[in-house]
């Protein structure tokens, strides 16, 4: 079995991109170790602040953000970083060639119950003479040079795309390195499993309610087949399940807070996951367009997300 560094060396990814990926994933190994210590290290619970999105920060949100930020800032290939936990972008090295946006700890409400969380990242190539600005980050997801996540579950896994399919790696804790465990990931076009937070049902659009009603009606309804439902409450866990055994995941627009067009953030949740899902043969849309085609307007912009099995995403959009 090949290690991550062997796979990267054998790929045609530029050396500077390999450096950014190695730095990011090594930091994720450190985050994994911090998570495993849990209460023993006194790192569970709230940090006592809110992030720029008005969400309560957990200690581990802050710790993993600080770890990624500091390691990436000292990687010469990194031009700037953007994070869910930082109000503004953080310029790193003016001569760096890559911008990286990340969600340092996705699904962090799962920390309290010792359930799945992960780190999601999205990398763009960008060179300039001046320190990077937010405007440099505002590129559509189609321009991502690489995207991936590290899932901190029963085993620690890296799922990565540099634009030539999707590979899965598993952390060998003895050797302290990621080892390739699936060379090529594909998502079936059809599915009988969906993921959505049903408690928001009454706030969805009429068409989304109609679609989910038909899923729930199963064999007795218009779809004439039964569906199963799953909800990890961490996007990284739900998308991982889809990459492993298929399905459709939705966090649609809802009317709970009319100022928010969706819950998930485009730059460090929707775009990297959309790249992975598309690279595995699935689809990723808002209710009106392909996610990767969106021209971002801000680093913390939110979008509705419908992704997974291609035919099921089409079916949902047909409502
Ligand atoms: O980052 C936002 C997030 O935690 C996602 O990981 C997850 O899919 C979603 O929010 C969970 O939302 P809810 O609290 O509605 O279950
Ligand atoms: Mn998140």
Query: What's 290's domain CATH number?
Result: 3.40.190.80
Q: How far apart are CA 35 and CA 315, in angstroms?
A: 39
Other Cβ atoms less than 10 A from the Cβ of 55: the count is 14
Buried b (16+ CB within 10 A) or exposed e, 108-121: bebbeeeebbbbbb
Residue to mutate, 121, 195, 234, 242, ligand 1, most ligand atoms under 8 Å from C-beta: 234
Residue 66 Ramachandran class (φ > 0 left, ψ -120 to 50 alpha, else beta)? alpha
Q: Are 198 and 229 in contact (CB under 8 A)?
A: yes
Residues 165-190, mean pLDDT to the nearest whole number: 98
Residues 88 and 118 in one domain: yes
Please give the pLDDT value at position 44: 78
Pick the ligand that lies closest to the CA of residue 307. 1
For residue range 73-95, what is the model confidence (pLDDT) as tens digits? 999 999 999 999 999 999 999 99
Please give the pLDDT value at position 191: 98
Residues 242 and 288 in one domain: yes
Q: How far apart are CA 117 and CA 236, in angstroms?
A: 7
Within-domain flag for 188:
no
Please give the pLDDT value at position 246: 98
Last residue within a domain, chosen from 150, 182, 214: 182
- Residue that is written with structure tokens 């001569």 in the block: 95
Q: Are 216 and 306 in contact (CB under 8 A)?
A: no
Residues 137 and 232 in one domain: no
- Tell how far the Cα of 238 is from the centroid of ligand 2, in angstroms: 12
Q: Which residues line ligand 1 (CB under 6 A)?
A: 106-107, 197, 233-235, 251, 263
- Tell how far the Cα of 236 is from the centroid of ligand 1, in angstroms: 9
Residues 131 and 244 in one domain: no
Q: How confident is the model at residue 249 (pLDDT cuts 50, 70, 90)?
A: very high
| H-helix segments, 74-137 | 134-137
- Tell how far the Cα of 234 is from the centroid of ligand 1, in angstroms: 5
Q: Which atom of ligand 1 is nearest to the CA of 234?
A: 6
> Exposed, middle or buried by CB within 10 Å (0-12, 13-18, 19+), for 40?
exposed
Residues 206 and 131 in one domain: no
Buried b (16+ CB within 10 A) or exposed e, 61-84: bbbbbebbbebbbebebbbbbbbb
Within-domain flag for 218:
yes
Percent of the chain with pLDDT over 70: 100
Question: Of 110, 188, 196, 105, whose CA–CA distance to 150 is shortest?
Answer: 105
Residue nearest atom 4 in ligand 1 by C-alpha distance: 107
CATH code (residue 26)? 3.30.540.10
Q: How far apart are CA 86 and CA 105, in angstroms?
A: 13
- Tell how far the Cα of 107 is from the centroid of ligand 1, in angstroms: 6
Residues 171 and 239 in one domain: no
Q: How far apart are CA 28 and CA 11, in angstroms?
A: 21
Q: Which atom of ligand 1 is nearest to the CA of 238?
A: 8
For residue range 257-306, what is the model confidence (pLDDT) as tens digits? 888 889 999 999 999 999 999 999 999 999 999 999 999 999 999 999 99
Within-domain flag for 187:
no
Q: How confident is the model at residue 157 (pLDDT cuts 50, 70, 90)?
A: very high
Percent of the chain with pLDDT over 90: 88
Q: How confident is the model at residue 52 (pLDDT cuts 50, 70, 90)?
A: confident
Residue 28 Ramachandran class (φ > 0 left, ψ -120 to 50 alpha, else beta)? alpha
Q: How confident is the model at residue 56 (pLDDT cuts 50, 70, 90)?
A: confident
Q: For residue 309, what are the domain limits?
A: 193-318
Question: Of 174, 60, 187, whose CA–CA distance to 117 is shortest?
Answer: 60
Q: Dmax of the chain from CA atoms?
A: 62
- Tell how far the Cα of 69 is from the centroid of ligand 2, in angstroms: 16
Domain count, the chain: 2
Binding residues for substrate: 106-109, 197, 263
Can you tell me whether residue 79 is helix, strand or coil?
strand
Within-domain flag for 314:
yes
| H-helix segments, the chain | 4-10, 15-37, 59-73, 134-137, 206-217, 235-245, 271-279, 310-318
Residues 261 and 302 in one domain: yes
Query: ∠58-92-75 over CA atoms, to 5°?
Result: 90
For residue range 108-147, what is the model confidence (pLDDT) as tens digits? 889 989 999 999 999 999 998 899 999 999 999 999 999 9
Binding residues: 84, 103, 105-109, 197, 263, 269
Residues 28-35, mean pLDDT to the nearest whole number: 96
Query: ∠250-153-9 over CA atoms, to 5°?
Result: 95
Residues 121 and 176 in one domain: yes
Question: Of 147, 86, 157, 146, whose CA–CA distance to 117 is shortest?
Answer: 157
Residues 24 and 50 in one domain: yes
pLDDT of 69 above 90 = yes
Residue nearest atom 12 in ligand 1 by C-alpha distance: 233
Residue to mutate, 233, 253, 260, ligand 1, most ligand atoms under 8 Å from C-beta: 233
pLDDT of 45 above 90 = no
- Tell how far the Cα of 152 is from the centroid of ligand 1, in angstroms: 16
Half-sphere exposure of 312 (CA within 13 A, CB side): 27
Last residue within a domain, chosen from 182, 210, 225: 182
Q: Are 292 and 140 in contact (CB under 8 A)?
A: yes
pLDDT of 43 above 90 = no
Residue nearest atom 14 in ligand 1 by C-alpha distance: 233
Residues 213 and 313 in one domain: yes
Pick the ligand that lies closest to the CA of residue 272. 2
Q: How confident is the model at residue 26 (pLDDT cuts 50, 70, 90)?
A: very high
Please give the pLDDT value at position 313: 98
């Amino acid at each position: 079995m090949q290690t991550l560094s062997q796979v990267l060396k054998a790929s045609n990814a530029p050396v500077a991109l390999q450096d950014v990926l190695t730095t990011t994933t090594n930091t994720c190994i450190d985050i994994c170790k911090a998570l495993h210590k849990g209460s023993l290290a006194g790192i569970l619970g709230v940090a006592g602040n809110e992030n720029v999105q008005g969400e309560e920060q957990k200690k581990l949100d802050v710790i993993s953000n600080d770890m990624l930020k500091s390691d990436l800032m000292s990687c010469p290939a990194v031009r700037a970083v953007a994070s869910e936990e930082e109000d503004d972008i953080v310029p790193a090295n003016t001569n760096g060639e890559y911008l990286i946006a990340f969600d340092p700890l996705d699904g962090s409400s799962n920390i309290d119950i010792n359930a799945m969380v992960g780190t999601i990242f999205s990398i763009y190539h960008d060179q300039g003479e001046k320190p990077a600005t937010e405007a440099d980050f505002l590129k559509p997801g189609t321009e991502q040079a690489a995207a991936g996540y590290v899932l901190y579950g029963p085993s620690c896994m890296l799922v990565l795309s540099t634009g030539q399919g999707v590979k899965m790696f598993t952390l060998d804790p003895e050797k302290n390195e990621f080892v390739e465990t699936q060379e090529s990931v594909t998502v079936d076009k059809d599915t009988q499993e969906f993921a959505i937070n049903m408690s928001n049902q009454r706030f969805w659009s009429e068409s989304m309610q109609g679609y989910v009603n038909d899923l729930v009606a199963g064999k007795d309804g218009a779809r004439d087949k039964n569906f199963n439902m799953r909800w990890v409450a961490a996007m990284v866990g739900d998308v991982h399940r889809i990459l492993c055994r298929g399905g459709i995941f939705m966090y649609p627009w809802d009317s709970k807070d009319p100022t928010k067009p969706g819950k998930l953030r485009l730059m460090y949740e929707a775009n990297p996951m959309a790249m992975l899902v598309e690279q595995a043969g699935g689809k990723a849309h808002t209710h009106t367009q392909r996610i990767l085609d969106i021209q971002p307007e801000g680093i913390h912009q939110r979008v509705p997300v419908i992704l997974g099995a291609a035919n099921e995403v089409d079916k949902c959009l047909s409502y």
